[in-house]
Structure 1
Amino acid sequence: MAKKILAILSNYGYWGVELTGPMVKLEQAGYELTFATPRGMRPVALPPSYDTSYMDPPLGKCVTTPFDAEQVKSIKDSPKLDNPKNLSAWVPERPYYSTENFLRKLEAYYSELKKLEAELSEYAGILLVGGSGPLIDMVNNQRVHDLILAFRKMDKPIAAICYGVACLVFARDFNERKPIIEGKHVTGHCIEYDYHDGTGFVGTDLNIGPPPYVLEYMLRDAVGSGGGYHGNFGKETSVIVDYPFITARSLQCSHEFGEQLVNMLDKGLKRYGW
């Protein structure tokens, strides 16, 4: 029986190697990826992520290697990405307080979550793929949050890269409302690597300029005084394991991220990079 990983991708654009990097390592280790998107539409790779001439503004260099571009092209149109799970149909929605029969509907919501948690037991871990798209439909998505919380409850690896890491800031128990990464060590986009302009999305001509928030500041606040944010500015990669979380700063970390995720799953790795 195949070992399974649940991979969440945006419907507004994922960065190619942030999927293929960990995906190749996981498949080589015998894992099968099940894909899911917020609305069930097929995920689309951001065009710059398979363009070997694209210059990353903060880094001032081309960031997509010919090897990575070919891997991204080989998967972006693959049948593997056809018919992903639809989170809006699969994961229950928490009701508004103002809804009629709120208490009964809230009870039903928690009952459905229990059923979902039982279904998720077949997965060994969850992967949150980055890119600009997650800013729109993953980061503040209650259904994505509930999946993360379920894997934390099961004490299984929670892997996030680039703006997928931002989901961990907002994934909080609805009653406790405390950051689940409080006291943990994480990495993510440091401010030096944030765009000044050009943050765009698949399916729209919208350019919001810089990202709508500074991920480094949010992560520093969320981990609190007992944890640590590690941007590792100037170092080519930044991958941090503080079980059950593994976080990676950006696309350059994708292969190392995949390798250490496999080490978490198969070799019991609990700490790495700090």
Structure 2
Amino acid sequence: MRKVLFAVSEWGYWGEELIGPLEACDQAGYEVEFVTPTGARPTPLAVSMSPGFVDPPQGKSVTSDEMARKTRELDASDRLDKPHDLAGWLPERPYPSSPTYLRDTEEYYRTIERVVTHDLPAYDALVIVGGSGAMIDLANNQRLHELILGFVRLDQPVAAVCYGVAALAFARDPLRKLSIIRGKRVTGHPIDYDYHAGTGFEGPHAVDGSNRGFGDGYVDFGPPFYPLEFILRDAVGPDGEFIGNVGHAESVIVDHPFITARSTESSVGCGRALVDVLDQGLRRYGW
């Protein structure tokens, strides 16, 4: 049986961006495990469970009744109760200022080698779920970067949705410092779909102990912290390409070993492509 690992933010994932690839894996008979940055249970963004919410850039609801229901059902189940703890699984990269930097780095790479050669072969693919929370604890998470590098080293597919694609842009060999998607074709959340205002986050981190977000509830952080399209265009370099497919109903790109999906509407397509990659040997799609 194939096994797929899903990386999910603890600061708010978009429901459909988890449900789409998850349902595809379930229907294909794959075993699924989850990992979060600190092992906390992930929380869906409330708007991803609200069919009446209108996405400002697109001027329409991007949450169907069906996906809202499925997200609520998943959140109410015990399926996400015990994710793997990424911080307890992979080590923290040593600071160069450490007085024992060389020895620490040697031990760091020994540990990474053990994870890649002993743990990761148990999995057939990695999926990075999107949502605004991914900007906080997935995009620049060096432990997740090492996980991505490990899957690529094993020639195992890595799928990412929406702002989860940012983790691919920032994952790179710390010596060469070139993005792992350099020279690749990718899609992701385009600048056309970015909010002018309204970026928010949710999770078990509120100062009042609730699960509503920050303090007394919602805080508007304005636009996203970074324009993902521009970052991806720079990351792929002159021999790669960012393909937004703006105006098209779906944007899913396969450039082995990467499967990237633009946003919410492409989540089901991401799952479909992942199954085709794993079971049919698909290596190129959408470009």
State the TM bucket, normalised to the shorter chain.
Answer: over 0.9
User: Unpaired segments of 5 or more residues in structure 1?
Assistant: none
Deviation at 1:20, TM superposition (A): 0.6
Spell out, residue by residue over 1:134-160, the C-alpha distance to the aligned partner (whole angstroms, 9 max, x if none): 101110010010000000100110000
Counterpart of 2:44?
A: 45
Spell out, residue by residue over 1:216-245, the C-alpha distance to the aligned partner (whole angstroms, 9 max, x if none): 111111111111110011111100000000
Deviation at 1:100, TM superposition (A): 2.9
Counterpart of 1:244?
A: 257
Question: In the alignment, is residue 81 of structure 1 matched against residue 94 of structure 2?
Answer: no
Work out the percentage of aligned pairs sharing the same amino acid. 51
Q: Partners of 1:125 and 1:190 in 2: how far apart? A: 25
Hey, which bits of structure 1, 4+ residues long, moved more than 3 A? none
Spell out, residue by residue over 1:196-221, the C-alpha distance to the aligned partner (whole angstroms, 9 max, x if none): 00000002243210011111111111
Counterpart of 1:135?
A: 135
Deviation at 1:73, TM superposition (A): 1.3
Counterpart of 1:36?
A: 35
SS in 2 for 1:176: coil
Counterpart of 2:62?
A: 63
Give the total of aligned pairs: 273
Deviation at 1:86, TM superposition (A): 0.8
- Decide which of 248, 272, 287 is 1:235's aligned counterpart: 248
Counterpart of 2:53?
A: 54
Spell out, residue by residue over 1:18-73, the C-alpha distance to the aligned partner (whole angstroms, 9 max, x if none): 00111001111111111010011100000000111010000101111111111111
Counterpart of 1:207?
A: 220
Q: Comparing 107-116 with 197-206, which one deviates more in the overlay?
A: 197-206
Counterpart of 2:206?
A: none
Amino acid at match of 2:162: C
Counterpart of 1:273?
A: 286
Q: Partners of 1:100 and 1:32 in 2: how far apart? A: 43
Question: In the alignment, is residue 121 of structure 1 matched against residue 121 of structure 2?
Answer: yes
- TM-score (norm. length: structure 1): 0.98
Q: Partners of 2:169 and 2:222 in 1: how far apart? A: 22
Question: In the alignment, is residue 176 of structure 1 matched against residue 176 of structure 2?
Answer: yes
Counterpart of 2:154?
A: 154
Counterpart of 2:210?
A: none
Q: CA RMSD in A?
A: 0.8
Q: Partners of 2:162 and 2:95 in 1: how far apart? A: 31
Counterpart of 1:108?
A: 107
SS in 2 for 1:254: helix
Q: Partners of 1:68 and 1:260 in 2: how far apart? A: 19
SS in 1 for 2:35: strand
Amino acid at match of 1:137: D
Amino acid at match of 1:28: Q
Amino acid at match of 2:241: G
SS in 1 for 2:125: strand
Q: Partners of 2:47 and 2:286 in 1: how far apart? A: 28
Counterpart of 2:193?
A: 193
- TM-score (norm. length: structure 2): 0.94
SS in 2 for 1:79: coil
Counterpart of 1:25?
A: 24
User: Unpaired segments of 5 or more residues in structure 2?
Assistant: 203-212
